[in-house]
A and B are shown apart, each in its own frame.
Chain A
């Protein structure tokens, strides 16, 4: 079984400051890790993913995430937050070796609030 934990329901940060949204995962095989953002009453928008290769992954809108195998973490980061980054962020995982089940398992979500 696979699971994702996002320990913070909400993260508050001032505009211009760096932000971090935490994610840890559990999967028996190779982790395929993803970050998505959701705006109110909208579907999920893909931000970035880690499949293999460099542990630091760069994605859309200036976001990046670092894969840490020993800590089973995949924290989302951005050097300088914008008010428009305020949204709901989901971390997701699937087992890369499981070619049969390709659905993602999502974390509970973290609401990011960027104050002007």
Chain B
């Protein structure tokens, strides 16, 4: 399957600070990136979808000014949590989707996740 990395894997920050999470697809070109959030003992919820070189589309209830997504290249997407608060503490997981024929467009692969704790 596809190789996806996320950095950092774990971050603790103070309330009010911003945190940037990087997601890299290491062995294929990610034309689309999905960002999910997972609260403890809950399922994954889609936050936003971004296409390389264009603005992200956010799911209902997700603040676009709070969760800034940049997808400037086919191998890197970033999620910045701005002015983080304790309620933003969660597990953030990226999932790149590539071109047809490269691992297929059918299967989504996921990054290892980033655990964010806001104090």
Contacts and interface: CB of A to CB of B under 8 A. Distances in A.
Interface of A: 32, 34, 36, 41-46, 49, 51, 90, 101-109
Nearest to B35: A103
A90 B43 contact: yes
A51 B115 contact: no
B32 A102 contact: yes
Given A34-B107, A102-B105, A108 B42 contact: yes
Contacts, number: 53
Given A51-B106, A106-B43, 9 more contacts: A42-B112, A43-B110, A43-B113, A46-B107, A102-B97, A103-B34, A104-B46, A104-B95, A108-B43
A43 B111 contact: yes
Interface of B: 1, 4, 6, 10, 32, 34, 42-46, 49, 91, 93, 95, 97, 105-113, 115
A41 B108 contact: no
Contacts of A101: 49
Contacts of B6: 43
A32 B108 CA distance: 11
B106 A36 contact: no
Contacts of A34: 107-108
B107 A36 contact: no
B46 A103 contact: yes
B93 A44 contact: yes
Contacts of A42: 112-113
Given A102-B105, A103-B34, A103-B49, A41 B113 contact: yes
A43 B43 contact: no
Contacts of A32: 106
Contact of A49 (B44, B91, B107): B107
A90 B44 contact: yes
A38 B109 CA distance: 12
Contacts of A90: 43-44
A3 B50 CA distance: 22
Nearest to B113: A43
A106 B107 contact: no
Nearest to A9: B41
Contacts of B42: 108-109
